[in-house]
Structure 1
Amino acid sequence: ERQKAPFKDLFDFLQRTRAGEKEARHLIKVGALNALLPNEPKLLLMNEIYFKNKKRATLSAFLSADVELPSYNRFQKISNELELLDFAVTDHPLTLYEDQIAQIKPVSSLELEQHKNRRVTFVGWLVTMRRVETKNKTMMKFITLEDREGLVEAVLFDKAYKKYGHLFKGYGPYVVKGRVQSRLPGEANLIVDEVQVLQLEKEKLETESLALAERAENRRNFLFFGIDSSALFCVIMLYLHETKNNLSRNSQNFAEIFFIFFN
């Protein structure tokens, strides 16, 4: 469809591709439609208005025209990518926890071998894990963790497994403490004796867009639900009055919206 002509805006994309509301919302949240408008919150609002108003592009464009929202910060972008793609494109997922990690001061995967036979702290994103039953009928768990520099292989033997094995239910990240074991040059792993799951600080995901959205909630509800003919007429007239210097430019839009709504 795009080969026929470039998409003009979000509404043109929705009309020509016939994408559903949920499908479009997911594309917007991962930044796939930023070429149309590099502002995900504004695109999400436009998408919602479009489908709440029975896919009327002209009316939707009018209702969303004066709404200004800040773009997502990098933490929000990473969070959306992890939620919908299961991996991050904008940056490494540990970026979400960089302040907490800085306070912990862990060793990196590149430094691990230098700490042979020492107890260290490492913070990593879970890549794989495998549970194994030993000959003695005890359980152990092998895990692979990733930081920005590389991978670390770690193992939880029976005692640590019983105490911390249940914590590995997602990607983490995990703060693991234990002794570094290195038998061959260039190879090191971690014998884990303590595990902690880092919790995301939600403040990182907040921008001015959330505050603006809260202040605009009543206005949005008015735009999405229960608009009657007289109310919409008043909104249109008020809009034209506020932009009277550009009345000739807006007159065509006014006529189109008036025709769509009242027919």
Structure 2
Amino acid sequence: PEIFSLTNPQIALFLGRLWSGDGFIFGSGNTVPFYASSSIKLSKQVQMLLIRFGIITRLAKKSFKYQGTRKLGYALYLTGEGSTKQFIKHIVPHIVGRSHIIKSLQVHLKKNSSKHGSRDTIPWEIKQEVRKEKDLTGKTWLEIEKETNLSMREFYGGYHPVKRGFRRNTILKLGKYFHSNQLQNLACSDIYWDEVKNITSKGLKETFDLTMEKNHNFVADGVIVHNSHSAAYALLSYQTAYLKFHYPTEYMAALLTTEKDNTDKILHYVSDCKNRGIKILPPDVNESERDFYSIDNQTIRFGLAAVKNVGEAAIENVVGARNAEGNFKTLFDFCERVDSRKVNKRMLESLIKCGAFDYTNATRASLLASLDNAMEYGLSRQRDKISGQSRLFDLLGSAEDQPKLKDVPKWSERQMLAFEKESLGFYITGHPLTQFENLLEQYSNANTVTAQDAPDKKEIRLGGICVKLREITTKRGDRMGFVTLEDLKGVVELVVFSDIYAKTHLLIKETDKPIFVIGNLDSDGETVKIIVTDIFPLDDVAERLTKSIHFVLHKDETTPNHLAQLKNVISRFPGKCPVYLHFIEPQKTETILELSSEFKLKPSFQLVADVQKLFGHNVTRFSC
């Protein structure tokens, strides 16, 4: 109807005149204004127009007296004090002939404002968020009740069937008390919460794709909806969830292939695979294809296209040569059979560094040191074939004329992993944190996976490697950083504010140096970040966090000779941590003795190793 294209002042005039005829304003038996009609269509249209002014109404069937009989009709009841106030502000000025009744409504509203319940409430489930905020303060319900002057009775205990929800003013006051943005936003939102009674299928009908330019959400027929393409997204989400559950390796292989050029996402998906028990095998020139692919329901082979410096044309040439003549036997055989115009030295270096030639059983250091010789050999053999020359070894089908690999020292694990990360963007065959697993288990209270489910504001302690850093300048001109921290389970984002960043930026920028992080969890229900309060080298964690040192000794280890040797060992590690001796007689007693202050120790791995060498097993415990 044309009425929907009018301006709000024009619609207000229309509704005022409409209310003058069939509208109820105020009476001794009913203090809630409503509009009555025998037409369901007209009632719903009026309901839509009222929404423009923030006036929420409830549509109900009503029986009216009509020419000596009862007739079924409909009534639109204003919902909540806020709707009544908006009604008085926008619609009432245009109602004619009802001034004395209007004055009665205004007097009643002023006298009873905020004294009665409201249907414009926030659902009772909000109490779960209030409980979380309460737990973070450490206060009791009684203390909160006294400090807010609000009754807390409804916020503990179970679900009350008659409880519709909580007034917005109540939640707003609690939001300010707890300094909770989430509670304050819910209390001040424009959303009117109502319960879905049922969903009825309308069958197959023609629909239209309506998209709003700037607002993804909008109101249609009184209901907040998304742009219509969201339905397609929902269907796509269902389909991908189905594939991920029933075909996990195929799904993850396809996902990794799709994001092969995005190292950040590849890192995230590789972590997801680890958590799901899916193993990702490193690149292999004899096994890998261009894309990631599923070997079985627990294994994925890395795709060559995700290796840095490896192009599409080169991959096509490598796979073609392999399909034509079989697997490559050696690095020299590979260089002889591929096209050197497409497979260049930079690409071969990346393939060696990431382990794509590990099938030869040669060390990566030896392969890289011999690369120039291998490429020269390959180019020479290709020229011979082009000129029609052949060698005796060709006729015999032997590879005896191939040069030998150079004998060079093997890379350290740290060096090998650094090259691996250089060529792939992350670690795949190992991790620098592996050697610190026991240390992390003792001093951490979370990892990058368990942190996702930890409560908001909880103090988090974990170790990891900085794999990405984004620096920004604050309004005050200071530098701060957003760090992606990787551990053995996955990744998490750290927020390092300027005061901490000024002290630790050099450490953060040492990307291969394991660090230990202490901070507070910041979760909005969808994303998780850690607001950092301290960062230091992982090597220092024992000294920084150990509060006491304990030596647990069994009865046969407490001879005078053993104790004399223990005293001799610990005398070499003076420090500040108190020391306790535990004398254990299995299934009988445990005696704990605190040593005097002269025996206070400095916690170190060398101390653990020396004491372990003395007793033949680890008897040292660091308590943090």
- 2:517 aligned residue (177, 184, 188): 177
Cα separation, 1, equivalents of 2:422 and 2:379: 27
Instruction: For 1:142-181, list aligned pairs within 5 A.
Output: 142-181=482-521
Structure 2 partner of 1:134 = 474
Deviates more, 1:162-171 or 1:12-21: 12-21
**SS at 2:466 equivalent:** strand
Structure 1 partner of 2:337 = 16
- 1:89 aligned residue (414, 419, 428): 428
Cα separation, 2, equivalents of 1:198 and 1:147: 12
Cα separation, 2, equivalents of 1:27 and 1:60: 25
Instruction: For 1:30-69, list aligned pairs within 5 A.
Output: 30-35=354-359, 37-41=360-364, 43-44=367-368, 47=371, 50=374, 61=401, 64=404
Aligned-residue offset at 1:108: 0.6
Q: Which runs of 4+ in 1 moved over 6 A?
A: 51-60, 67-76
Contact 2:463-2:514 within 8 A present in 1 as well: yes
Contact 1:139-1:158 within 8 A present in 2 as well: yes
Gaps of 5+ in 1: 200-263
Aligned-residue offset at 1:71: 8.9
**SS at 1:193 equivalent:** strand
Deviates more, 1:72-81 or 1:164-173: 72-81
- 1:99 aligned residue (431, 435, 440): 435
Aligned-residue offset at 1:60: 7.3
- Seen in structure 2, the aligned counterparts of structure 1 residues 197 and 83 have a Cα distance that, compared at 3 Å, is farther
Cα separation, 1, equivalents of 2:409 and 2:372: 17
Cα separation, 1, equivalents of 2:371 and 2:478: 54
Cα separation, 1, equivalents of 2:330 and 2:499: 58
- Please tell me the residue identity of whatever aligns with 1:179: G
- Seen in structure 2, the aligned counterparts of structure 1 residues 21 and 40 have a Cα distance that, compared at 3 Å, is farther
TM-score, normalised with respect to structure 1: 0.54
Q: Give the percent of matched residue pairs that are identical in Structure 1 and Structure 2.
A: 23
TM-score, normalised with respect to structure 2: 0.26
Aligned-residue offset at 1:68: 9.3
Gaps of 5+ in 2: 1-319, 382-392, 394-398, 540-624
Higher helix share: 1
Cα separation, 2, equivalents of 1:5 and 1:84: 28
Contact 1:108-1:122 within 8 A present in 2 as well: yes
Which whole-Å deviations, capped at 9, do the CAs of 1:134-192 have from their partners, x for residues lacking one?
33443332223233333322222221121112333253455243331345446543221
Structure 2 partner of 1:78 = 417
Structure 1 partner of 2:531 = 191
Cα separation, 1, equivalents of 2:333 and 2:469: 45
**SS at 1:4 equivalent:** helix
- Seen in structure 2, the aligned counterparts of structure 1 residues 103 and 135 have a Cα distance that, compared at 3 Å, is same
Contact 1:140-1:156 within 8 A present in 2 as well: yes
Aligned residue pairs, count: 194
Contact 1:180-1:188 within 8 A present in 2 as well: no
Cα separation, 2, equivalents of 1:116 and 1:70: 50
- Seen in structure 2, the aligned counterparts of structure 1 residues 81 and 160 have a Cα distance that, compared at 3 Å, is same
Which whole-Å deviations, capped at 9, do the CAs of 1:217-261 have from their partners, x for residues lacking one?
xxxxxxxxxxxxxxxxxxxxxxxxxxxxxxxxxxxxxxxxxxxxx
Cα separation, 2, equivalents of 1:4 and 1:54: 17
Cα separation, 1, equivalents of 2:410 and 2:506: 38
Contact 1:121-1:175 within 8 A present in 2 as well: no
Deviates more, 1:100-109 or 1:13-22: 13-22
- Please tell me the residue identity of whatever aligns with 1:96: P
Does residue 5 (structure 1) correspond to residue 325 (structure 2)? The answer is: yes
Aligned-residue offset at 1:98: 1.7
**SS at 1:88 equivalent:** coil
| Rg (Cα) greater in structure | 2
- Seen in structure 2, the aligned counterparts of structure 1 residues 53 and 97 have a Cα distance that, compared at 3 Å, is same
Cα separation, 2, equivalents of 1:198 and 1:168: 12
Cα separation, 1, equivalents of 2:345 and 2:413: 24
**SS at 2:447 equivalent:** coil
- Seen in structure 2, the aligned counterparts of structure 1 residues 61 and 43 have a Cα distance that, compared at 3 Å, is farther
Which whole-Å deviations, capped at 9, do the CAs of 1:24-63 have from their partners, x for residues lacking one?
454333222345x243356456646556889777797466
- Please tell me the residue identity of whatever aligns with 2:363: E
Higher relative contact order (CA 8 A, sep 6+): 1
Contact 1:142-1:156 within 8 A present in 2 as well: yes
- Please tell me the residue identity of whatever aligns with 2:362: N
